[in-house]
Amino acid sequence: SQTIHQWPATLVQPVGSPLSLECTVEGTSNPNLYWYRQAAGRGLQLLFYSVGIGQISSEVPQNLSASRPQDRQFILSSKKLLLSDSGFYLCAWSSPSGGNTIYFGEGSWLTVV
Amino acid sequence: AQSVTQPDIHITVSEGASLELRCNYSYGATPYLFWYVQSPGQGLQLLLKYFSGDTLVQGIKGFEAEFKRSQSSFNLRKPSVHWSDAAEYFCAVEPGGYQKVTFGTGTKLQVIP
């Protein structure tokens, strides 16, 4: 069966420091990968999605970037964090062969202080 | 542009009572429809999904949802709520063919004894 893991689960970082959140998927090949951010009362905002290695699409302009160095690895990064980057970040995957169902990781709480 | 509306931000029900969470979407064709549940501080778990066929869909944890094309709705129901059902529920829509899912803003369910 397929599993998805993301880490760290919680992170407290000072303003201006870098960020790296990592996500890996097991049990499937060439998944579609996603990074979402969740803010209270605003639902889930899609930040990035990827359909293959090195292929990243950004949904919103922001202080963050994403990379996919390996087929089942998706990384969310920032060079300099802002206070507004605080939030709950969710990695997710879906099958490239159809089904359209998105499966989520456990989430990462980021607090920028 | 496609949109998903969950008109109820917060709902409180008594344990053992029935539950209905509303979801409306705006999209010309029949999209793929999903309901997810999120416990505090955790990722989203898929409850059920509708792609085609029978408009009444059964999911996990005793939940069901009914697709009504005429009303552009996909309401989630449960005949008898348990205290463990307290969580936030998200409706999601995907127009089909391209896996870009739009999420509603969520409904927080509180269950009282």
Q: Which of residues 16-55 of B touch A (CB under 8 A)?
A: 32, 34, 36, 41-46, 49, 51
What are the tens digits of pLDDT across the range B57-96? 999 999 999 999 999 999 999 999 999 999 999 999 887 6
φ, ψ (nearest 5 deg) of residue A70: -135, 165
Q: Is the pLDDT confidence value at B1 over 80?
A: no
Which comes out higher in pLDDT, residue A43 or B32?
Answer: B32
Q: How confident is the model at residue B28 (pLDDT cuts 50, 70, 90)?
A: low
Span A65-105, pLDDT tens digits: 999 999 999 999 999 999 999 999 999 999 877 667 899 99
Q: Which residues of chain B does A90 touch, with a Cβ-Cβ cutoff of 8 Å?
A: 43-44
**Model confidence pLDDT, tens digit, residues B94-109:** 876 555 788 999 999 9
Q: Which residues of B touch A46 (CB under 8 A)?
A: 100-101
The residue of chain B nearest to residue A94, with distances taken between CA atoms, is B99
Average pLDDT, chain A: 91
Q: Enumerate long-range contacts of A78-83, CB under 8 Å, 24 or more apart.
A: A78/A18, A78/A19, A79/A18, A80/A15, A80/A16, A80/A17, A80/A18, A81/A13, A81/A14, A81/A15, A81/A16, A81/A17, A81/A18, A81/A19, A81/A112, A82/A15, A82/A112, A83/A15, A83/A112
The mean-pLDDT minimum among A35-44, B33-42, B68-77 falls in: A35-44
Contacts of residue B40, Cβ cutoff 8 Å, sequence gap at least 6? B87, B88
